Amino acid sequence: MKVTGIETVPYVIPYHHPVVAASGTLSCAEHVLIRIHTDEGIIGLAEASVRAFVYGESQVSIVEAVRLWFEPALIGSDPFAVEDIATRLAWIPANNTTHGAIDIALHDIRGKAAGMPCWRLLGGSGAPMRVTHILTMGKPMEVADEALEAGARFAISSFKVKVGSKDLKSDIERVAAVRNAVGTNASIYLDANHGWTAEQAIKVLNAMVDYDIDLVEEPSPSEDLVGRQRLARHAAIAVMADESAPTLATATRELVSGSCRALSIKTTRTGFTTSAKLVAVAQALGGRTLIGSQADGMIGTAAALAFSSAHPMLACEPGELDYYTNLKDDLVVEPLQVAAGVLTPSSRPGIGVEIDEDKLRHYKVR
Amino acid sequence: MKVTGIETVPYVIPYHHPVVAASGTLSCAEHVLIRIHTDEGIIGLAEASVRAFVYGESQVSIVEAVRLWFEPALIGSDPFAVEDIATRLAWIPANNTTHGAIDIALHDIRGKAAGMPCWRLLGGSGAPMRVTHILTMGKPMEVADEALEAGARFAISSFKVKVGSKDLKSDIERVAAVRNAVGTNASIYLDANHGWTAEQAIKVLNAMVDYDIDLVEEPSPSEDLVGRQRLARHAAIAVMADESAPTLATATRELVSGSCRALSIKTTRTGFTTSAKLVAVAQALGGRTLIGSQADGMIGTAAALAFSSAHPMLACEPGELDYYTNLKDDLVVEPLQVAAGVLTPSSRPGIGVEIDEDKLRHYKVR
């Protein structure tokens, strides 16, 4: 089997609510559907998602990177050779979600060619994944209500609370309100999108100890190495690395240095091939891994679900797998549906997604 | 597909020449053929190899470990779920080559079920592997002659020289004789099987600098942490870890501490699943990986070949893949054959090995 070409279709789907984080605000999903075609008619798909202020990609840059570099490198290659291909593509700097989507689309082909879901081909048993709902960065009672609603509608019992604002007191109040609302059995972890300084983080996190917080993601700027070491020593809540650990080398450095004790694994940026290596490194160094959301739509979520349910270390943790509920629509024939607080991966071949071509035509841009 | 049972067949094949290393002498290959049966008739196979003074396993212990622990844990499992199974079997201490063989046999099933060689299923392109010949620990001119013969017969151009004797001068002379015999284009690395002290190793290795030695495997005792750190600082030749790094945790510790800069990957002890994690960790930490031999017969070599040719980091290094030439016979219908200094992996499904049942009956013991 050989790759014959790569199709890119940029599309935009509006959000129900704009998403506010310490790093910026988003009002719609800007994605690029990537489809890798083969000489045997099997098509592998994935979505690259624009996170301009995280990776500096745009829809135009993704389409152009595929045309200029990824497609010429892949044409004629066996799509099964993901290790070889990853090595060959490693020279392409940045373009994180393009790299991720290309690798996922290759794995989708692998699954379809072998007639089995990716999670099985990756060595898992298709475990249902407990879903984490990411709460918006609103006023304490609004956020608490949002958590209650997710609990009532989908039986969700794991929540990520956005913090890292300039108003430390409001951060604490938001966390307190959520914990009071969801009760002691739910899991809560935080994401500060490095909005605090290390010293602020130590103070705020230690003030939150009573709220039984599992982890804090990116409490302080990743370039502040000394501050992060201070934080690891003095804060009672362990750190999860995300933006500071987007590659194998950076993630390893964070774990080895002790700056973090967990990695947010985002298949959207590291695909399946590198994500598996990140899981291996975390396992080797005693770290935890949680599947994270890169503002994924349903296609990206299906991929993250297939990957995480294949890896026992990820499958035993809650995963950020319902971001798509904030999109007003999706492109998928059989939509994902959280039930009893979990998402069960598809048993269809590959990542288990079929595209609704009418909807794709509708949301396609340019 | 479900595992229905695991068959174990111990067998003994004599060596042409006894094998002498700093850690002991071997006169025959004592292996256990492991065959995992499934409800769909597909049978996965691998060999566990007894390395009593490395892992404390015997043929009887391997058969009994499978009967007591591995088989009951696997019956009814999907053989594709190698990640799940590895996690479930992780509690079984020691029994290294039994662990490895079980995982390889599962991967053999995966390949056979998917109708493709393991190297393709693992993401590679079936690269031919340059073969390293492991020289015996004899007198300088005998060892040099052995190297010349391997060069003349198989165009082999990578050699591992056994060192680590009490007679440091003889070690240096052996290395010098081999380098003089094989010329400057061949690769040479050493294996001391921790026969030297750290201080001896520093002295001897620095005396060998002119012989262009690529690596030294296990120069000094692995429990001598301080000595190994001294060695990393003062010896001009980089260290490859083998016996000191038989697991994910130990290998990671050696790499992170700087005690080694390369790992010997032995699928016979870490299977494919954990070996892939070792490769990921080495890649993450800037280390090299070379495929090593666990006194493998042809079955184990075929497995190591399939695995290494799937991973660009291993495939660009020479591999210890001709140990089987010292066995007087083998159990394989289509024997491996080194040509032009390389072994090319089989394109048959799984690890690509078919057992000659007549020979198995002949060499079977008890």
For the question of residue B112 being annotated catalytic, the response is no
Contacts of A357 (CB under 8 A, 6+ apart): none
CA distance A310 to A322: 18
In chain B, the residue whose alpha carbon lies closest to the alpha carbon of A119 is B81
- Angle at A324 (CA atoms; ends A37, A273), nearest 5 degrees: 45
In the structure encoding, which two tokens stand for residue B239, read together?
């260290």
CA distance B93 to B86: 13
- What's the gap in Å between the CA of B136 and the closest CA on chain A? 34
For residue B25, the model assigns a pLDDT of: 79
For residue A101, the model assigns a pLDDT of: 98
Task: Report CB contact under 8 Å: A281, B276.
Answer: no
For residue B96, the model assigns a pLDDT of: 95
In the structure encoding, which two tokens stand for residue A359, read together?
């909807």
Banded pLDDT at A22 (limits 50, 70, 90): low
- What's the gap in Å between the CA of A26 and the closest CA on chain B? 33
For residue B54, the model assigns a pLDDT of: 85
Banded pLDDT at A21 (limits 50, 70, 90): low
Does the pLDDT value for residue A298 go beyond 80? yes
Task: Return residue ranges of chain B for CATH 3.30.390.10.
Answer: 3-116+356-363
- Phi and psi at B341, nearest 5°, equal 80, 5
For residue B204, the model assigns a pLDDT of: 97
Supply the mean pLDDT for chain A. 95
The pTM for the full model equals 0.92
Query: For the residues A129-143, what does the mean pLDDT come to?
Result: 95
For the question of residue B337 being annotated catalytic, the response is no
ipTM summary value: 0.86
Q: What angle separates helix B82-89 from helix B96-114, to the nearest 10 degrees? A: 160
For the question of residue B166 being annotated catalytic, the response is no
Q: DSSP of A11-57, one letter per residue?
A: EEEEEEEEEEETTEEEEEEEEEEEEEEETTS-EEEEEEE--HHHH--
Is B300 in contact with B51 (CB distance < 8 Å)?
Answer: no
Query: For the residues A191-206, what does the mean pLDDT come to?
Result: 96
CA distance A147 to A145: 5
Does the pLDDT value for residue A117 go beyond 80? yes
For residue B19, the model assigns a pLDDT of: 79
User: Which one from A57, A103, A162, A322 is the annotated catalytic residue?
Assistant: A162
CA distance A234 to A232: 6
In chain A, the residue whose alpha carbon lies closest to the alpha carbon of B311 is A83
For residue B21, the model assigns a pLDDT of: 63
Does the pLDDT value for residue A341 go beyond 70? yes
Task: Report CB contact under 8 Å: A120, B81.
Answer: yes
Q: Count of alpha carbons within 13 Å of B117, Cβ hemisphere only?
A: 25
H helices within chain B, ranges in order?
Answer: 52-55, 59-65, 71-74, 82-89, 96-114, 118-121, 140-154, 168-182, 198-207, 225-234, 248-257, 267-270, 273-284, 298-308, 312-315, 357-363
Domain at B3-116+356-363: CATH code: 3.30.390.10
Task: Return residue ranges of chain A for CATH 3.20.20.120.
Answer: 121-343
Query: For the residues A291-307, what does the mean pLDDT come to?
Result: 96
Name the architecture of domain A3-115. Answer: 2-Layer Sandwich (3.30)
For residue A136, the model assigns a pLDDT of: 87
Does the pLDDT value for residue A53 go beyond 90? no
For residue A23, the model assigns a pLDDT of: 65
Q: DSSP of A116-128, one letter per residue?
A: SBHHHHTT-----
- Phi and psi at A336, nearest 5°, equal -70, 155
For the question of residue A277 being annotated catalytic, the response is no
Task: Return residue ranges of chain A for CATH 3.30.390.10.
Answer: 3-115
Domain A121-343: what homologous superfamily?
Enolase-like C-terminal domain (3.20.20.120)
Banded pLDDT at A52 (limits 50, 70, 90): confident
Higher pLDDT, B233 or A23: B233
In chain A, the residue whose alpha carbon lies closest to the alpha carbon of B103 is A123
Is B106 in contact with B79 (CB distance < 8 Å)?
Answer: yes
Query: For the residues A283-307, what does the mean pLDDT come to?
Result: 96
Does the pLDDT value for residue A58 go beyond 70? yes
Q: Count of alpha carbons within 13 Å of A310, Cβ hemisphere only?
A: 27
pLDDT digit of tens for each residue in chain B (366 aa)? 999 999 999 999 999 988 776 667 788 999 999 999 999 999 999 999 998 888 989 999 999 999 999 999 999 999 999 999 999 999 999 999 999 999 999 999 999 999 999 999 999 999 999 999 999 889 999 999 999 999 999 999 999 999 999 999 999 999 999 999 999 999 999 999 999 999 999 999 999 999 999 999 999 998 899 999 999 999 999 999 999 999 999 999 999 999 999 999 999 999 999 999 999 999 999 999 999 999 899 999 999 999 999 999 999 999 999 999 999 999 999 999 999 999 999 999 999 999 999 999 999 998
CA distance A239 to A255: 10
